Each structure stands twice: as C-alpha cells, then as structure tokens.
C-alpha cells in the first residue's frame, strides 16, 4: 500500500508526514492544490514552485493541480483523488488537528473515492504538537497571519523555543494556528534530504491577511 500527503507546505502536514513515515507508511506523493492565477497556495501565499521544491527535498513525487474561475476547489480535488487512485495510492495523509468540520469535509470525499483517510495528529494538544515541531528539528517560517486574530507580530518568525513561549501564553490563540491564525512554510527538517534555500521578499496584505513572500535564492550573476 502507498499513500499521498495532502500539503500546503506548512508545519502540520510536514509533521504528519514525519509521523506517518515513523509509523511505517509508504508515503510516495505530495499533493498540492493551489490558486492558478496567482500560482500560490491560497491564504498561505507560498509560491507553487516552492511546494515543488519541498516535494523533491522530502523525496516525494509531486501531484499538483490548480483552481481558477472555471475550476473551483472541490471538482479539482475529486479529479486529483481519481488520479491518485489510478497511480495505486491507497490512502491520503492529512495534518488536521481538531477542526471536526474540516476533517469531515475531506474524509467524506476521500473515502467516497475508495481511499483511506489518515490523520496522524488528530486530537492531540496543539501546544504539544508545536513543541514537537521544534524538538524534531523542523524549520518553519511564518508566512501568513490573520490580521483579525491578533497574530500580526508573528509574521516572518521562525518556529523555535522562543516562538513556543510566545504562543503558549496567548489565551485566545491556537498555538498551532489551527483556526487560521498563522500559516507556515517548512524549509528543513528530519523528513528533508536537503534544506530548501529561500530568501525573504516583500510583505503584502490580502483579504485581511498579511503575507511574507518567500523567494528561491537569486541566481549568481555570470562572471
């Protein structure tokens, strides 16, 4: 049996991959559905080519699809699930933690496609999970924050011990950002064969979110 990871490049799906592999699951694919016009992951703002680089770094084959005005998310997801089933995939790994409605939405569609729905992180304390991210040696950068949820000061920070100390005392914030307070991009860690080089670009605001643009390193000028 082989599995695919549904990922937007953040810490939760990356930790789910780590857990799945340690549990002996043969995860072969990274699945990413992004916004076609912008070539970025919705709400995360991460460039699709950086997700592709993450798949390579983690030893996974990328299965990417995009949405646009004529191709909304659900039909694109269903087509992607059919494609995965035809590739021999038997289950999809997710990084959900406690949002039951989100889990139910995906689980209904995944199981209807004849695939197993796997949730390695489900039901665990969010603070314990963000600590595990640090303890396992992952290197996530906060690339998106919801300006209406008091997370503006987290943009651009790396998740480390100091970050954990910051979020653990905020009573109205999920420490893992599970309610959309913040999103991350992971560029290194135990599931990576090599770290991904990124450079920090501009910050922009979009739909009540502040987004840090991560860029591949600029090529060295020719001599």
The domain locations on the chain are 2-118, 126-205
Contact status, residue 155 vs residue 129, Cβ threshold 8 Å? no
Q: Is 93 helix (H, G, I), strand (E, B) or coil?
A: strand
What is the DSSP track for 123-178? TS-HHHHHHHHHHTT--EEEEEEEGGGT-GGGTT-B-SHHHHHHHHT-TTS-TT-T
**CB count, 10 Å around CB of 16?**
25
> What token pair was written down for 179?
């309610």
Binned average pLDDT, 10 residues per bin, the chain of 223 residues = 96 98 98 96 93 96 97 97 97 97 98 98 97 98 94 96 95 93 97 95 93 81 54
pLDDT on residue 221: 54
H or E stretch at 140: strand 140-146
Q: What are phi and psi of 42, to 5 degrees?
A: -60, 135
pLDDT on residue 43: 84
pLDDT on residue 150: 85
Q: Which CATH superfamily is domain 2-118 in?
A: HUPs (3.40.50.620)
């Amino acid at each position: 049996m082989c599995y695919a990871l549904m990922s937007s490049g953040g810490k939760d799906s990356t930790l789910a991959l780590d857990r799945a592999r340690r549990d002996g699951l043969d995860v072969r694919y990274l699945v990413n559905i992004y916004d076609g016009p912008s070539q970025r992951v919705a709400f995360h703002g991460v460039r699709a080519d950086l997700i592709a680089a993450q798949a390579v770094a983690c030893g996974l084959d990328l299965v990417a699809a995009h949405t646009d005005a004529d191709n909304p998310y659900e039909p694109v997801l269903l087509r992607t699930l059919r494609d995965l089933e035809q590739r021999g995939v038997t289950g999809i790994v997710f990084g959900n933690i406690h949002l039951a409605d989100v889990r139910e939405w995906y689980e209904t569609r995944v199981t209807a496609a004849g695939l197993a729905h796997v949730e390695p992180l489900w039901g665990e304390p969010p603070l314990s999970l963000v600590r595990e991210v640090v303890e396992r040696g992952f290197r996530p950068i906060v690339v998106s924050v919801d300006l209406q949820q008091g997370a503006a000061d987290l943009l651009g920070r790396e998740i480390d011990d100091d970050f954990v100390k910051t979020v653990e005392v905020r009573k109205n914030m999920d420490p893992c950002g599970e309610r959309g307070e913040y999103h991350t991009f992971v560029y290194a860690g135990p599931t990576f064969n090599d770290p991904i080089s990124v450079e920090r670009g501009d910050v922009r605001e979009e739909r009540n979110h502040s987004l840090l643009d991560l860029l591949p390193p600029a090529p060295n000028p020719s001599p």
